[in-house]
């Protein structure tokens, strides 16, 4: 079971709610985009650019295009769904994902507002670097490599006489 799996709130309304909530907490310069495989929201807050990438399911995913019939938890048969039913199932999954993104951003902002944590601690992985990458996109592979090799990476200035 996923969060808001039965929501009727449209993606457009959720996106507007995200922007309104971010604005209420002081964010500015909003952006969003969508593509077949993902959506993105971006904003500036506390002088920092922030970007969230929301992976979207493929319309061709069997969970939308195939209907499973089960009896007492056991798969009995599979049948293709009508295209309009497959689209509705895909659209529902997208609405649920957008609601999850809204919940995530709102919870982070509320935790910051309540003094439980800091803006930097909550959004660090999503800060946009001058390269266009987020801190998470840059650091997660390095952290995984450190865990794999059990070695710290060389400092950026190491070997330059500094």
Q: What is the pLDDT along the chain (162 residues), one digit of tens a residue?
A: 678 888 999 999 999 999 999 999 999 999 999 998 999 999 999 999 999 999 999 999 999 999 888 888 888 888 899 999 999 999 999 999 999 999 999 999 999 999 999 999 999 999 999 999 999 999 998 888 888 988 887 655 455 444
Task: Identify the DSSP state of 52.
Answer: E
32, containing H or E segment: strand 28-34
Q: For residue 158, what pLDDT is reported?
A: 53
Residue 83's SS3 state is helix
CA distance 115 to 120: 12
Ramachandran region of residue 26, left (φ > 0), alpha (ψ -120 to 50) or beta?
A: left
Q: For residue 39, what pLDDT is reported?
A: 96
CA distance 54 to 94: 10
Q: For residue 38, what pLDDT is reported?
A: 96
Give the total residue count for the chain. Answer: 162
CA 76 to chain centre: 35
Q: For residue 73, what pLDDT is reported?
A: 85
Q: For residue 162, what pLDDT is reported?
A: 47
Residues 6+ apart with CB under 8 A from 83: none
Q: For residue 157, what pLDDT is reported?
A: 46
Dig out the tokens for 111 from the structure: 């935790």
CA distance 109 to 46: 12
CA distance 42 to 49: 7
Alpha helix stretches (DSSP H) within the chain: 11-24, 62-65, 83-113, 119-123, 135-149
What is the biggest distance separating any 2 CA atoms in the chain, rounded to whole angstroms? 71
């Amino acid at each position: 079971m996923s969060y808001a799996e039965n929501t009727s709130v449209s993606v457009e309304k959720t996106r507007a709610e995200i922007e309104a909530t971010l604005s209420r907490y002081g964010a500015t310069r909003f952006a969003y985009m969508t593509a077949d495989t993902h959506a993105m929201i971006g904003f500036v807050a506390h002088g920092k650019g922030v970007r969230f990438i929301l992976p979207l399911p493929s319309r061709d995913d069997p969970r939308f295009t195939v209907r499973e019939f089960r009896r007492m938890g056991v798969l009995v048969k599979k049948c293709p769904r009508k295209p309009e039913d497959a689209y509705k199932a895909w659209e529902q999954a997208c609405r649920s994902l957008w609601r999850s993104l809204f919940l995530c951003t709102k919870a982070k902002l509320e935790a910051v507002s309540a003094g439980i944590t800091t803006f930097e601690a909550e959004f660090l992985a999503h800060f946009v670097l001058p390269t266009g990458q987020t801190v998470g996109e840059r650091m997660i592979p390095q952290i995984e490599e450190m865990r794999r090799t059990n070695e710290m990476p060389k400092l950026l200035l190491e070997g330059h006489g500094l």
